[in-house]
Structures are given as structure tokens and as C-alpha cells.
Structure 1
Amino acid sequence: METLLIYLLVGAAAGTIAGLFGVGGGLIIVPSLILVFTALGIAPEILTHMAVATSLATIVVTSVSSIRTHHLKRAVDWSIFLSMTPGILLGSWLGGVTAHLLPGAWLQLLIGIFALVIAGRMWLAGRRHAHLPENGERLPGAPLLSVAGGAIGWGSAIFGIGGGSLTVPFLSRCRVQMQRAVATSAACGLPIAIAGAISFAVQGWGDPQLPPWSSGYIYWPAFLGIVLASAIFARFGAQLAHRMSPQLLKNCFAGLLCVIGLRFIWLNAGLVLG
């Protein structure tokens, strides 16, 4: 019962932060689950893989609601989505395979570096967006969009995220209007999460170190607690966001990512380099 409460708290935190900052909860779920799984004594060789896999599984559920909302507003560009999806599915599957081949310390180090990169991008976002043109879409053809989807899916699966922090900047550089870029990115999060979660389940299947109630690296008690709480608290976070300065919100979240990133790098750099 106490463990379920912990997972509910992780889901509440992830949902609130997702609603507050407009980012996927994976950036919070993965580090939080790594801490929880460490405290529970799960084998260090697999706990990071479990955190990433479980995060992807939760995104399968939470992204459906997000897609529906964006679709009702007619903001999703389904032609871009369909062009990117074949690459996304393959890339996300390969991301799960890649993560499985990496030791836990390497995976945590990469997550720490990624958190710092996203924090830096958030601090610079206002300056960059000020120079982006507002029209004149320059999308590549379907084959190149599929290749881009493969790269985005591969990276997203490794880090346990829905890909918004990678897809939105890519579509923005292609001069896709920001609202459509965000909505299309949300739609792309579903195939990323499905293919990535299945890949992690297959890669981890039968590992003797896994705890009960696991399907490969996906840990269902954590999945259940996070999904139940995150949907409710995402609304709370979104309401709270309207009462605060957008730039202050970005700076606060970037600061949190810096703390997470530096901690993971500090704890794992010596293990990797040693």
C-alpha cells in the first residue's frame, strides 16, 4: 500500500509538472522512478531500464487524451504524422534495443546529459523563437520525414519520453506553425510510446532480476499509480500555469532539470569512466 502511494505521488508530480510547463511527464517520471526503484532495492543493472520502459507505457495512456484534445481543435497535421510514423516505429523499437544493451550507469549518464541539454534549450527558447519565421513551411519529403521520425523515436525511447522536446524543435525548424507543431508532436508521442514500450517488454522478458508484476522491463504497479494520478493533476498544473509568468515557469523547470541532470552525471560519470 505504501509503495502504491509513492507511485501515486510520482504520477501527481509528473502530471502537475506536465500541465505547468507544457512538457511530457517522462522527464520527471524516469528520474523519480530511478530513485524509487533504488530505494526499493531493485537490481541496479535493470532499474533504469524499468524506469524508462514504465514511463513509455504510461505515455501510451496519457497521450490518447492529449491527441483527442488537439484533434478536436483541428491542430494535428495528420499528413506529417503519417509520413513520420514508419520511421518513428522502427526508431523507437531500436531505441529499446539500444537501451537494453547499455549498462544502467551509462543509461543514467545519458539521461543526465539529456536533462541538461533540454534545460539549456528552455533557457534559450525565447531568444530562438523570436527569430523564427511565422510562415513559409519548408517540410522535406515523406522519406526524409520518416528518417527524422526514426531519429526522434530512437532518442525518445532511450530517454523514456514522448518526443515533444525533439519533435517540436524539428517541426519548428521546418517552419511549421507552432500550434500545429505541438499538436502533431503530441500525436507522434503515441507510436513512440507503443513501439518503445513493446521493445522494452521484449528485451527484458524473462530476466531473473525482475520483480513480480513485470512484463519485461515494464513494472505494472508503478504504471497503475502514475496513470491514475497524472491525468487528474495535469489539469491542476494547467490551471496553475495560467496564474504564473510563462518565463518564470520555464526558468524554474530548467533549474529542476539541471539539478536532476547534474545529480545523474555526478553519480554515474565515475562508474562509466572508471
Structure 2
Amino acid sequence: MLRCNKSLGELALLGNDALVGDPGSLAFTVIALLLAGAGAGFAGGLFGIGGGFVVVPALVLLFPMLGVEQSQVAHVAVGTSLATIIFTSIRSTMSHAARNAVDFSVLKSWAPFVVLGTVFGTLIADRVTGAELAMIFGVGVLGFAVYFLWPSRGEEKQLVPMPAGLPRAGIAGGLGVISALLGIGGGTLTTLVMTTCGNPIHRSIGTAAGMGAIIAIPATIGFLLIGFGEPNLPWGSVGYVNLPAALVITLMSVLIAPLGVATAHLLRPEILRRVFGIYLVVVGVTMIAKY
């Protein structure tokens, strides 16, 4: 059941304070969400990430313009981002699988530990303030920026076994924790582990894309539950997931994700990796400075 703090009639009079109302405000909101969805879908297909690095900052900027309480912005942005990742991840994985670039054995063996980590990360998110969550996101983004900006030596690596036993449980569980807190699909860490073990970059990215849904499904349910009953949530929210925003972003990201996948299989990603890394630096610094 949708949480509405005001009646629809009242919302129509609020203009910029809601997702409905003034036609100009509504048009701006939809365009901004469509752009965020396009960026998330392209990045998700290209890098095997869920798109949260694009969606969360966009929603953090957009929600205050719509009258969302500042204390709720970060939680709703992360929860909504996780909801969009479910479908972006599935669409990207299907496109990569069509090119035989998904290692489903890795997804199956990592899934139980990833889900447990995701649950734990959601519980942590329930116990931190919006400002603290935004700071965690900013610092985490800067950490991932290092990966994208680090020079690639480009030499062939010897294929070694993927982590098993306790190392696999620790890495996969930590992936779930980090992803739930940041509202991302965990593709960057998955790609890093697989390429370090000598797997081809395209197969690593394709497998990482599939990890997004494994993370996002339990994390989205968690944010629905921990936000249920919270006051001052934006119109159309169920817990910390804003359904109208998630719907618009998802529609665009699902359409654009195959374009990112096609680009990943056509181009050498070095320059694009650097550009995305610079983007993450800007996002991380902005989030830390803002909060």
C-alpha cells in the first residue's frame, strides 16, 4: 500500500513539493529521472554495475527539490536505487548471456553469502542517520573510483581458481554489505575479483551484471521493511522505496542497458573507465561536502 502523507488533492496544490502537481515541475522531474535511468542502464551494461553510482546521486539532488525531508533523502535514494537495479541487472545479464559472457557457476556459489551480507548491510543502514549514510556512500564511491582510475597494465594473467571456502564467504558477504549500504549492484568488486583471477574482462563484466539482482532483491525488501511507517516520506513511497521514481528510471535503464552491453563488447574500455572514474570522484567529493 502506498504511503501518502497528504491527499492527492493537497499534493496537486504543492507544485515542487511533490511528484505530482505543476505540469512544469512534473515534466522536469520525469526528464531528470529518464536521464538518470539512461545513465544507469548504459553504465550497467558497459561496466557490469547495477547503475546505483548514477541513480543515487541523481535522486539525492532531485528529492529535496520535491519537498523530501533532508533526513530521509539518503535512505529513499538508496532504497529506490536498489529497486531499479533488479531489472537493470536482469536485462544486462540476459544481453551478456546471449554472448556467452556470464559464468553462472560463480553466481550460484556466491549467492548465499552475498544475500547474508546484504541482510546485514540493510540492518546497518537502519541504524545510521541520513547524513551518515550519505557520507558512507561518498567515501565508498571514492574507493571504487580508485579501481576505475588505476592504470591497467594490460598483460595476460594466468587463470587461477576463484576464491573458495572462507575467502569466498568473506568476499561475497562483504560485497553484500557494501552494496546494500551504497545502493549499488556490486559489479565493480565482482569484476575486480574475477579479472584478478585471470578471467576475461567481458566474462567478468557479464557475471558482475548478474550479481546485481542477487544483491538488489533482498536489499530492496529490506529497505521496504525498515522504512515502513516512517513519517515524511515522499508521495508514492513504500518504505524507503519511491515507486514512481523507480518505475521511470527502470523503464529507461532497461531500454538502454543493451546499448551499454553492445558497447562493452565493441570497444576497449580504458578511456571510458577513466571517464567513469573521474565521475565517481566528483560524486564522492560532492556527497561528502554536502553532508
One fold, TM greater than 0.5? yes
- Are residue 155 (structure 1) and residue 178 (structure 2) matched? yes
Question: Among 75, 80, 93, which residue is 2:106 paired with?
Answer: 80
Q: CA 1:19/1:68 → structure 2, altered by over 3 Å: closer, same or farther? A: closer
Question: Among 124, 132, 135, which residue is 1:98 paired with?
Answer: 124
Q: CA 1:141/1:121 → structure 2, altered by over 3 Å: closer, same or farther? A: closer
Q: TM-score, normalised by structure 1?
A: 0.87
Partner of 2:6: none
Question: Among 271, 274, 288, which residue is 1:251 paired with?
Answer: 274
Q: CA deviation at 1:190?
A: 1.1
- Are residue 191 (structure 1) and residue 207 (structure 2) matched? no
More deviation in 43-52 or 217-226?
A: 43-52
- Are residue 29 (structure 1) and residue 29 (structure 2) matched? no
Q: CA deviation at 1:257?
A: 1.4
More deviation in 194-203 or 19-28?
A: 19-28
Alignment length (residue pairs): 265
Paired residue type of 1:72: A
Deviations 1:110-145 (A, max 9, x none): 211122222222111413xx3562x33222334542
Partner of 1:272: none
Paired residue type of 1:136: L
The alignment-based identity, stated in percent, is 37
Structure 1: which 5+ runs fail to align?
A: 269-274
For residues 38 and 126 of structure 2, the distance between their equivalents in structure 1, rounded to whole angstroms, comes to 28
Q: CA deviation at 1:239?
A: 6.4
- Are residue 173 (structure 1) and residue 196 (structure 2) matched? yes
| RMSD of aligned residue pairs (Cα, Å) | 2.4
Give secondary structure in 2 for the equivalent of 1:75: coil
Q: CA deviation at 1:52?
A: 0.7
Kept after mapping to 1: 8 A contact 2:50/2:89: no
For residues 215 and 261 of structure 2, the distance between their equivalents in structure 1, rounded to whole angstroms, comes to 24
Give secondary structure in 1 for the equivalent of 2:152: helix
Structure 2: which 5+ runs fail to align?
A: 1-25
For residues 54 and 186 of structure 1, the distance between their equivalents in structure 2, rounded to whole angstroms, comes to 18
Q: CA deviation at 1:61?
A: 0.8
Q: CA 1:115/1:33 → structure 2, altered by over 3 Å: closer, same or farther? A: same
Report which of the two has the higher share of helix.
1
Give 1:1-274 correspondences, 5 Å limit. 1-2=26-27, 3-19=29-45, 23-127=49-153, 130=154, 133=157, 135-236=158-259, 246-268=269-291
For residues 149 and 64 of structure 2, the distance between their equivalents in structure 1, rounded to whole angstroms, comes to 31
Q: CA deviation at 1:53?
A: 0.8
Q: TM-score, normalised by structure 2?
A: 0.82
